């Protein structure tokens, strides 16, 4: 049978057209198919000796086509066409009987080499079949003759035939002729003294002439008979061996091989020789090394990225996290993303990863997370799909970039704009009041009305004070400035502040309890800014008790104490409380748990005020049990 018929299978018409022309120029009779199903139908009528098929195709992929063709025609040579990203599938195809694989784009030199190899294997297989058929015919003829001879003469003929076959096999290897020299393998024959008595030409080309050498000399890690090689084990056990070994080339380099040994008995059944056939695995080893190198590079890129990266499964468990993520959030493998990031018991209602897993589309949004140390970070979160070899989304990658500093700057600029916008109307009103006060002052002076002059003066002083405060507020948010601190009696200052918050509680029907003892000492503070911050906490506590008036048990407590030299102020309510996700975000600009009733500015500004006084805020809360804000202030600013 000739080696001229070739079938090309690829779902891309351009590949079929141009590659088909190249193959026809090489002298092959070429037929093409666009998918696996069509290829099977064409194979039945065309019966090619060699098949080129792409691995990734619709309807039926190349691996399944390979299995079906090999099941129907084991002698057909199948060569796989693969992209650079399909190397795992290409290697998998070799396990199912593929002859070779070539990568896109296809180089004509590589194509010819692959076809030459396929032709050699096909010719060798045909030659072996011919030898087998001839041997079977010879056995039939000998059997006919043996039947005609006496039993004793027939037995002698069988023994002589076996001896002749063994001698012939050894002679073929030794003389460099016959089947063993056609095999693309390293073939050698060893005697019972563990000496190499013969080997084929390829063996000598790769390893050098080793006739007469010890059997273990050709191995890189065997240096004595005590370190048994596969040949020695075959003599010891009487059974063939299969193992992965390393040969030493004639240049001293290691050659990875798969060794197959088989015992050859003499006429008495004793093992006289061992046949060693070893397959060179250098190319496969090179591919494995390249794969490991690529995996190492990607792992380093994954771990050294200056952002948080996780790979998540369809059930939202974390399959893998990079080094930066593990450092700030702990070893989270197998844990749920929403538990690690947001301290939630259920998935986030607008989960990016869940949506990406569903439709394969990348997404992004901004959120706030809390690290193991309690540090809050503003994150720009992006999700992207991860596909398997068949193009199905099997996982999703979530990449989070820390934008906390950018967000702080943005918040500061935004709050400045809001302040300026909201103050513009107030400025107009105060200017109008100043105009009115000046008019009344001039009128009183003109008419000599002392009471009118006093009233006008009082109005002007009030308006000037309000204008001064507004200008200072604008300067406070427009640029950094020093706090206007003064030493005040902490007890008196806190009681005055409590009266403001208590007034709102009284109007809202919320029970207000103030526990500020005497003797708290002095504290350095910008009284206007600090009072506004504390009042904001008190008013938020009243709002949290909304719907829980005196009859409903609404209660707000304001207390203070000295602890370790610091002034500790506590604002506690028994209102609606907060979950962990809300607690993580309450000091973020524009975040409010009050819905449309809140602006999301108050706690942001209050937190900045406490920080500028060198203080800290601790928040304890859970849903439906109320909240406790603990503010710790030092006596003096550092």
Q: Which two tokens stand for residue 238?
A: 């009487």
Q: In the structure, what pLDDT confidence band is assigned to residue 265 with cuts at 50, 70 and 90?
A: confident
Contacts 24+ apart (CB under 8 A), 346-354: 347/316, 351/316, 352/381, 352/382, 352/383, 352/398, 353/312, 353/316, 353/383, 353/396, 353/398, 354/316
Is residue 242 domain-shared with residue 163, that is, in the same domain?
A: yes
Is residue 384 domain-shared with residue 432, that is, in the same domain?
A: no
The angle formed by the CA atoms of residues 468, 478 and 419, to the nearest 5 degrees, is 70
Count Cβ atoms below 10 Å from residue 166 Cβ, excluding itself: 18
Q: Cα–Cα distance between 497 and 531 in angstroms, integer?
A: 6
Average pLDDT score over the chain: 79
Cα–Cα distances (Å) from 47 to 73, 171, 227, 518, in that order, read 9, 38, 50, 104
For residue 145, is it within any domain?
no
Specify which residues 81 forms β-bridges with: 54, 102
**Residue finishing a domain among 127, 151, 175:** 127
Q: Which pLDDT belongs to residue 147?
A: 65
Q: Is the pLDDT of residue 166 over 50?
A: no
Is residue 221 domain-shared with residue 338, that is, in the same domain?
A: no
Domain of 51: which CATH number?
3.40.50.2300
Using a 10 angstrom Cβ sphere, with 0-12 exposed, 13-18 middle and 19 or more buried, the burial of residue 321 is: buried
Is residue 276 domain-shared with residue 317, that is, in the same domain?
A: no
**Residue finishing a domain among 352, 369, 402:** 402
For residue 297, is it within any domain?
no
CB 263 within 8 A of CB 274: yes
Give the neighbor-by-neighbor strand order of the sheet with 196-199: 196-199, 186-191, 271-280, 254-265, 242-248
Q: Which pLDDT belongs to residue 561?
A: 92
Q: Is the pLDDT of residue 31 over 90?
A: yes
The SS3 call for residue 27 is: coil
Beta strands in 460-549 (DSSP E): 486-489, 511-515, 522-525
Is residue 257 domain-shared with residue 389, that is, in the same domain?
A: no
Q: Which two tokens stand for residue 174?
A: 């030794």
Q: Which pLDDT belongs to residue 629?
A: 92
What mean pLDDT do residues 441-455 have? 80
Q: In the structure, what pLDDT confidence band is assigned to residue 497 with cuts at 50, 70 and 90?
A: confident
CB 118 within 8 A of CB 50: yes
Q: Which pLDDT belongs to residue 569?
A: 92
For residue 152, is it within any domain?
no
Helices and strands per DSSP (H, E), number in the chain:
18, 22
Q: In the structure, what pLDDT confidence band is assigned to residue 170 with cuts at 50, 70 and 90?
A: low
Is residue 189 domain-shared with residue 85, that is, in the same domain?
A: no
**The length of the chain, given as a count of residues:** 638
Number of domains, the chain: 5
Domain of 625: which CATH number?
3.30.565.10
Looking at per-residue pLDDT, the higher value among 466 and 461 belongs to 461
**Residue finishing a domain among 402, 418, 451:** 402
pTM of the model as a whole: 0.36
Q: What is the pLDDT of residues 522-564, one digit of tens each?
A: 888 888 788 888 888 888 888 888 755 445 678 899 999 998 8
Q: What is the pLDDT of residues 184-233, one digit of tens each?
A: 788 889 998 899 988 888 888 889 998 888 988 888 877 666 678 899 99
Is residue 317 domain-shared with residue 357, that is, in the same domain?
A: yes
Is residue 203 domain-shared with residue 93, that is, in the same domain?
A: no
For residue 88, is it within any domain?
yes
What mean pLDDT do residues 424-449 have? 69
For residue 138, is it within any domain?
no
* HSE, side-chain direction, 13 A CA sphere, residue 440: 17
Is residue 493 domain-shared with residue 621, that is, in the same domain?
A: yes
For residue 42, is it within any domain?
yes
Q: What sign does the CA torsion over 112, 118, 120, 126 have? A: negative
Closest CA to 254 of 224, 281, 215: 281
Is residue 459 domain-shared with residue 494, that is, in the same domain?
A: no
The enclosing H or E element of 556 equals strand 555-563
Q: Cα–Cα distance between 473 and 398 in angstroms, integer?
A: 41
CB 385 within 8 A of CB 393: yes
Is residue 206 domain-shared with residue 278, that is, in the same domain?
A: yes
Q: Which pLDDT belongs to residue 568?
A: 92
For residue 150, is it within any domain?
no
Q: Which pLDDT belongs to residue 462?
A: 67
CB 358 within 8 A of CB 352: no
What mean pLDDT do residues 355-370 have? 86
For residue 97, is it within any domain?
yes
Q: Cα–Cα distance between 262 and 580 in angstroms, integer?
A: 70
Q: What is the pLDDT of residues 580-629, one digit of tens each?
A: 777 777 776 555 555 544 445 667 777 888 888 889 999 898 888 889 99
Name the least confident of 537-541, 570-574, 630-634.
537-541
Q: Is the pLDDT of residue 162 over 50?
A: no
Is residue 570 domain-shared with residue 457, that is, in the same domain?
A: no
Whole domain around residue 219: which residue ranges?
Answer: 159-285
What percentage of the chain reaches a pLDDT higher than 90?
8
Q: Cα–Cα distance between 416 and 480 in angstroms, integer?
A: 12
């Amino acid at each position: 049978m000739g080696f001229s018929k070739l079938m090309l299978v690829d779902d891309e018409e351009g590949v079929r057209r141009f590659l088909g022309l190249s193959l026809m120029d090489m002298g092959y009779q070429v037929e093409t198919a666009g998918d696996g199903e069509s290829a099977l139908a064409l194979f039945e009528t065309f019966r090619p000796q060699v098949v080129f098929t792409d691995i990734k195709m619709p309807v039926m992929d190349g691996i399944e086509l390979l299995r079906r063709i090999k099941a129907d025609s084991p002698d057909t040579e199948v060569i796989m066409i693969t992209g650079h990203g399909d190397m795992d599938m290409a290697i998998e195809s070799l396990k199912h009987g593929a002859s070779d694989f070539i990568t896109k784009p296809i180089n004509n030199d590589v194509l010819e080499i692959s076809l030459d190899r396929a032709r050699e294997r096909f010719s060798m297989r045909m030659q072996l079949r011919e030898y087998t058929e001839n041997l079977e015919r010879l056995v039939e003829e000998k059997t006919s003759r043996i039947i005609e001879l006496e039993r004793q003469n027939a037995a002698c003929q069988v023994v002589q035939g076996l001896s002749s076959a063994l001698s012939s096999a050894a002679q073929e290897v030794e003389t460099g002729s016959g089947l063993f020299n056609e095999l693309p393998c390293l073939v050698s024959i060893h005697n019972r003294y563990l000496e190499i008595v013969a080997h084929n030409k390829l063996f000598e080309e790769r390893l050098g002439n080793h006739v007469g050498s010890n059997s273990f000399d050709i191995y890189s890690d065997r240096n004595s008979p005590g370190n048994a090689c596969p040949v020695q084990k075959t003599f010891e056990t009487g059974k063939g061996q299969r193992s992965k070994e390393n040969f030493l080339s004639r240049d001293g380099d290691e050659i990875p091989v798969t060794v197959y040994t088989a015992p050859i008995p003499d006429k008495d059944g004793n093992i006289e020789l061992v046949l060693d056939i070893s397959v060179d695995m250098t190319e496969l080893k090179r591919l494995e090394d390249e794969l490991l190198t690529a995996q190492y590079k990607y792992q380093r890129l994954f771990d050294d990225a200056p952002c948080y990266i996780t790979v998540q499964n369809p059930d939202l468990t974390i399959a893998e996290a990079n080094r930066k993520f593990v450092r700030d959030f702990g070893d989270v493998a197998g844990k749920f993303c929403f538990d690690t990031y947001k301290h939630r018991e259920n998935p986030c209602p607008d989960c990016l990863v869940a949506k990406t897993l569903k439709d394969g589309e990348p997404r992004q949004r901004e959120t706030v997370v809390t690290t193991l140390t309690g540090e809050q970070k503003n994150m720009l979160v992006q999700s992207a799909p991860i596909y398997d070899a068949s193009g199905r989304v099997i996982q999703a990658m979530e990449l989070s970039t820390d934008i906390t500093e950018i967000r702080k700057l943005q918040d500061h600029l935004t709050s400045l704009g809001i302040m300026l916008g909201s103050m513009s109307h107030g400025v107009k009103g105060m200017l109008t009041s100043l105009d009115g006060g000046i008019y009344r002052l001039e009128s009183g002076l003109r008419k000599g009305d002392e009471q009118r002059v006093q009233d006008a003066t009082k109005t002007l002083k009030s308006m000037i004070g309000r204008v001064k405060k507004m200008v200072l507020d604008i300067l406070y948010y427009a640029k950094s400035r020093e706090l206007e601190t003064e030493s005040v009696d902490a007890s008196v200052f806190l009681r005055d502040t409590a009266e403001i918050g208590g007034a709102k509680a009284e109007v809202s029907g919320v029970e207000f309890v103030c526990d500020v003892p005497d003797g708290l000492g002095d504290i350095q503070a910008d009284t206007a800014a600090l009072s506004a911050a504390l009042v904001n906490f008190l008013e938020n506590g009243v709002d949290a008790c909304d719907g829980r008036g005196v009859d409903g048990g609404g209660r707000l407590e304001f207390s203070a104490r000295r602890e370790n030299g610091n002034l500790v102020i506590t604002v506690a309510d028994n209102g609606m409380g907060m979950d962990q996700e809300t607690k993580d975000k309450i000091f973020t600009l524009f975040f409010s748990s009050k819905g449309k009733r809140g602006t999301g500015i108050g706690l942001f500004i209050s937190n900045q005020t406490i920080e500028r006084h060198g203080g800290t805020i601790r928040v304890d809360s859970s849903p439906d049990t109320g909240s406790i804000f603990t503010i710790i202030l030092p006596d003096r600013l550092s």
